[in-house]
Amino acid sequence: MDRKAIVLSVLCLIALASAHLGGCRGAKVVRPPPSLDGMQACLQPTAASQDPQEKQRCVYLLEQFLKAEPDHPSADETSFRLGQLYLETGDFSAAYHLFHSFPEQYPKARRQAEARLYLGVALYFLDNTTDSLDVLHALAGDPKAASWSQEIFRYIAENYVKLENLPSALTWYARCLESATEEAGQERLQNRVLEVMSLGWEPEALHAATELFQEGFFSEAIHLGVVATCVQRGQLRLAEDHLMRMSLKHPEDVFTHHISALLDRMAEQGQPRVCTIGCLLPLTGKYARFGESVLDAMLLGARAFRSAEAQGSSIRLLVRDTQGEPKVAVERVRELAEDPNVMGIVGPLRAAVAFACAEEAQSLGIPMITLTQREEVAAVGDYIFQNGLTIRQQVDTLVDFVMEEMAFSSFAVLYPKDAYGTLSRDLLESKLLEMGGELVSAVAYDDRETDFQDEIRQLVGPEFLLEVEKREKEREQKRLLEEGLDVDLEEQVLEDAPTGIEAGFGMDEEELEEEPVLPPFQVLFIPDHFRKVALIAPHLALYDVNEITLLGTNAWNSTQLVELAGEYVRDAIFADGFFAESNMPYVREFVEDYLRAFQTVPRVLEAQGYDSLLMLEDSFSQAPVKTRDQVRDALATMEGYPGLSGYTSFNEDGSAKKRLYILSIIGNHIQQIY
């Protein structure tokens, strides 16, 4: 065959092939949709097990079925299962759109409430916490969704975790745990709560959560959160103390793994060498009993009573007796400063001794945390810090609480004519100016005063007194009428008091109940000893000054106040730097240890000594180079240290800034309310 014939033959074959292929392309191939019988495995909740590829295959099959058969009787169930698979495969946007349109597309579907649950879940994973909470909160109160309450509560809690609202998160986790009936489910949820707490939280959030849960699993979980926060902030010594106690209480339970994980995190950060701290206290002389009790607390902090087998870091404590004398104390500062291993000093107690020692410590460049109430001592220099309880801390804590938590803004102060009373008044006025509150009235009284009628009349003002007097006359007129006086007298009474009695005729007894006369302020601050308060409070009642909140200082913190003043001080609020009956786990542990070792209950001074020691030690552990300068820098930048005497930071001048304990008289007992 010649070349031309071959070419013609090839062209013919190509043409035939093209015609054949064109005919194939022109024929439309119709594939049948997946049948329900072939998708039964995909429609089950355990579909595709955990195999991602199999789940994706199920998604494809269900999508194809719904596309081909949108009106099929089983379309609602198929669509619902497809939405679940979207969630399982991480396609949260597709899940949202499906469940958002589900009620409109399938109005007669039986799974409406469950679809709303999954809508809330999809929104959670899309980080739309506000809309997710709206959906889930509405479901939480819907009886039709009761079967899924555990999941609803859990995702509400998870949303609050994202919002960093710890108290709300724990509240909903608690509801979820209550609704869990199976032991395995309860343990999974407890582990989740402990995972959340192990993240570490701000001190204020932990403190607020502690007030909600004062015992049981959640109280211990919050304790773990305190430890995690300490580890996160590099406060390894304090964290170690907490973990040692927790490991003894939880040798083998749901907490054990999380305690071990925190210990591993601590090990990764490295363990610093032994910290040497000097201690300046009056161990002989007039103030010896105070010095000895503080030393006892510091010995606990230095782990002096730990068994020989116990592991963990330790403090080398060098104790020096100041004898309560400035000159002796200054010599002791020099002795301690000569030892290059001493990283800092705790003490002294008294102001005169503290000022003398502060000057010397500053000149020698050694950090010192004094326990005096005089915050001015910190102004001596940048190596000096003050950690005593001050009236400024109390005023700041009280005003913050009353204005933020109770929404009160108008204040009055009734104070003694002495330096303490005047300072209290000035600090209150300054704090109110800062917070936008108002000091309506400020009245002073002599320290020897026992009859406070004149002061109270001046405090409330003439308008209030006139209104009280008018109200008393109205009550008397009403009493006379009820005793059946003649018409003339009745008419005269009505003429004199048209808005009082006449307006009341024909009204029910409940409607006749009169509104109380309100004084020109909502809050009355009395910065004095509880014995003086027990004299003042009944005088307030004498003038009908009842609809107010009484505020006080730590000098009110005595059961004798309740015994002496009773109902006159009920619901009063005051602040203190320590509360031995607190439900905070680490406070309970300290009180138990102190009581076991010394057969007495610790007070605020002991708590401050303990805290100061551990703050110095933690500053030492955080210092990248173990020098006095680095320890000073770590102290100066310390924020929200979770101490026994309140969450503590230091102001720029080195004085302590604290969130103290808020106490109240509830019934016949003093209780912590914040």
DSSP for 341-402, please give it: TEEEEE---SHHHHHHHHHHHHHHT--EEE--S-GGGGGG-TTEEE-S--HHHHHHHHHHHH
- On whether the CB atoms of residues 361 and 384 are closer than 8 A, the answer is yes
What integer pLDDT is reported at residue 491 of this predicted model? 46
247-298 pLDDT, tens digit each = 888 888 999 999 888 888 887 776 556 889 999 999 999 999 999 999 999 9
275-388+606-652, superfamily in CATH?
Response regulator (3.40.50.2300)
Strands 384-386 and 523-525: unpaired
Burial class (CB within 10 angstroms; exposed 0-12, middle 13-18, buried 19+) of 125: middle
For 156, residues 6+ apart whose C-beta sits below 8 A from its C-beta are 133, 136, 137, 140, 172
**How far are the Cα atoms of 59, 78, 79, 82, 105 from residue 74, in angstroms, in the given order?**
16, 6, 9, 12, 13
Strands 523-525 and 549-552: parallel
37-269, superfamily in CATH?
Tetratricopeptide repeat domain (1.25.40.10)
pTM: 0.72
What integer pLDDT is reported at residue 242 of this predicted model? 82
SS3 label, residue 657 = strand
What integer pLDDT is reported at residue 270 of this predicted model? 64
SS3 label, residue 120 = helix
Residue extents of the structural domains in the chain: 37-269, 275-388+606-652, 470-518
What integer pLDDT is reported at residue 196 of this predicted model? 95
CA 257/CA 487 separation, integer angstroms: 85
> Which of 585, 658, 649, 610 is closest to 233 using CA atoms?
649
What integer pLDDT is reported at residue 35 of this predicted model? 61
What integer pLDDT is reported at residue 411 of this predicted model? 98
What integer pLDDT is reported at residue 267 of this predicted model? 78
Q: Which residues of the chain carry a pLDDT beneath 50?
A: 1-30, 47-48, 308-312, 486-512
- Helix H segments across 180-216? 183-197, 203-212
**Both tokens of residue 627?**
């020098």
What integer pLDDT is reported at residue 33 of this predicted model? 57
What integer pLDDT is reported at residue 514 of this predicted model? 63
Strands 410-416 and 523-525: parallel
